[in-house]
Homo-oligomer: A and B are copies of this chain.
């Protein structure tokens, strides 16, 4: 190993340690921190992240990267080391473009904004949040100016979460999805509705947890390198691939949400547990994007866990645990009930068939805000109009409308599109795996997920950030981002479920 590479790895190793420490501190905040600790924790995490940033943006790192560029001149551009240098250079150039005082200002705005959003949501008063959102829009516009002009100003924001994917990519996908998803929902809405009252009654919480744990274990979650806890908002976090933690919650009278939520987070967790250990302390040892991350959680949650094959295996065990509620419910009735489509106001409660419409609405509004085509004061009206247009619903309150998501209050503009990208990619991967492994559905119906997990590990998990999201899709499927597999999956599945 060359001396510059060795020196760079020492620095990147310490940065990785700090990022992992920050991830654990943030996990703790959501899971076990006593309420009085919030201010102390905020300062701790702030300092840890700041030092990680400072260790990275030094002239020394730039000098090492310059030397390594020379060294890599003749090397295979797809070798681990060449990719490490490329990815680190990309991170470095981005990190150097954003001035320290801007980062500090953004942190101040964030702190006030998040509190204001919580209060505004509780009080159902958009005006309380409005000035903070306006400041964030200004900040985002300023942020964009630090980077070279792109085809679309929103590109710069999107690139934070989905590197290499552009607004044009997203718009093309949305143009394909929108009419067919709207059409499908109308079609299903005209059919006789599915009876699912047995899914909205009390279920014993402890039994649901133990059932969820069984499913997550069957997926291949490694409990010696991970754990599951309760939290108000479910999430997954990797403190390195040897310590990956998921959280879940039980909602009374919504028994299935604990199961689907656990499977969703375990899908994220398998990605983190499957990262290449050789990349653990440098730039390649993390998920390549939020879209690819979401493709993993959605694949397990929807393609696997909402399939008939899955429940062929698991339904008897569930029935046995909940005889009172499920004794008289056939597999077929159960399968249709868990796939009931019901347009609703709240994104996080949306079913598969309507979810993307929630996302499109947000992406369109936030890109309009960033471009100045929409003013923050007109946002609640614009939200209501779009909800009516896409889902045929109008929110009764702003709390159930424009104030429902945390993302804008923490300045995460450009994030929403990754949810829909994840959905599409999950179907593309599913088809590619099915082509490579014709026994796919037979395996699932036996509760055997080993081939799927191994295929995802090799294709998606292990490379981490070595490949850009589009490269991951290309390598796994032989093609580019494509909305068609997901649309076909939706149309075929839901027309069957609704007997249409």
Binding site for B on A (CB under 8 A): 13-14, 17-18, 20-21, 24-25, 28, 32-37, 39-41, 43-44, 46-48, 50-51, 222-227, 229, 239-240, 242-243, 280-281
Does A280 contact B34, Cβ atoms closer than 8 Å?
Answer: no
A50 surroundings in chain B (CB, below 8 A): 14
Tell me the complex Cα distance, A41–B23, Å. Answer: 12
Say whether A17 contacts B34, CB under 8 Å: no
Flag if B21 contacts A48 (CB, 8 Å): yes
Partner of A18, one of B35, B48, B227: B48
Interface pair B51/A14, CB less than 8 Å apart: yes
**A239→B13 CA distance, assembly (Å):** 25
In the complex, what distance in Å separates the CA atom of A225 from the CA atom of B33?
9
Contacts of A44 in B (CB 8 A): 17-18, 20-21, 24, 239
**Are B281 and A37 closer than 8 Å at their CB atoms?**
no
B28 engages A240 (CB within 8 Å): no
8 contacts between A and B (CB under 8 A): A18-B44, A20-B40, A21-B25, A28-B28, A34-B223, A36-B222, A40-B240, A41-B239
Contacts of A21 in B (CB 8 A): 21, 25, 44, 47-48
Please report the C-alpha to C-alpha distance between residue A50 and residue B13 in the assembled complex, in whole angstroms.
13
Q: Is the interface of A mostly helix, strand, loop or mixed?
A: helix
Count of identical protomers in the assembly = 2
Residues of B within 8 A of A33 (CB): 243
Report if A32-B227 is in contact (Cβ < 8 Å); known contacts: A21-B21, A44-B21. yes
In angstroms, Cα B41 to Cα A20, docked, is: 9
Residue of B nearest to A14 (CB): B47
What chain B residues lie within 8 Å of A229 (beta carbons)? 32
Please provide the 8 A-B residue pairs with the shortest distance between their CB atoms, ordered closest to farther: A37-B243, A36-B225, A17-B47, A40-B240, A36-B242, A36-B224, A17-B44, A21-B44
Closest-CB distance, A274 to chain B (whole angstroms):
14
A24 to B32, CA, bound (A): 11
Residue of B whose beta carbon sits closest to that of A273: B36
Which chain B residue has the least Cβ–Cβ distance from A20? B44
Contact pick for A243, options B13, B17, B41, B51, CB 8 Å: B41
Q: Which residues of B contact A28 (CB under 8 A)?
A: 24, 28
Closest-CB distance, A25 to chain B (whole angstroms): 6
CA distance A28 to B237 in the complex (A): 15
Cβ distance A451 to chain B, nearest Cβ, rounded Å:
24
Chain B residues positioned under 8 Å from A41 (CB to CB): 239, 243
- Extra contacts, 12 of them, besides A36-B222, A39-B242 (Cβ < 8 A), are A17-B48, A18-B48, A21-B21, A32-B227, A34-B224, A34-B226, A36-B242, A37-B239, A37-B240, A40-B243, A40-B280, A51-B51
Residue of B nearest to A22 (CB): B21
What residue of chain B has the Cβ atom nearest to residue A223's Cβ?
A: B34
What distance in Å separates the Cβ of A354 from its nearest Cβ neighbour in chain B? 36
Is A239 in contact with B40, judged by CB distance below 8 angstroms? yes
Instruction: For the complex, give the distance between the alpha carbons of A14 and B48 in Å.
Output: 8
- Is B48 touching A242 in the complex (CB atoms < 8 A)? no
For residue A60, give the distance in angstroms from its CB to the closest CB of chain B: 15
In the assembled complex, how far is the CB of residue A241 from the closest CB belonging to chain B, in whole angstroms? Answer: 8
Residue of B nearest to A38 (CB): B242
Q: Please name all residues of chain B whose beta carbon is closer than 8 Å to the beta carbon of A223 when the two chains form the complex.
A: 34
| Chain B contacts for A17, CB-based, 8 A | 43-44, 46-48
A47 touching B18 by the CB < 8 A rule?
Answer: yes
Specify the chain B residue showing the minimal Cβ separation from A281: B43
Q: A225: which B residues are within 8 A, CB to CB?
A: 34, 36-37
A18, A47, A222, A226 interface centre (most CB from chain B within 10 Å) = A47
A488–B246 alpha-carbon span in the complex (Å): 55
* A222 neighbours in B (Cβ, 8 Å): 36
In the assembly, what is the distance between CA of A24 and CA of B20, in Å? 13
Chain B proximity of A222: nearest CB distance (Å)? 7
Give the docked Cα–Cα distance between A326 and B227 (Å): 39
List B contacts of A48 (CB < 8 A): 17-18, 21, 48
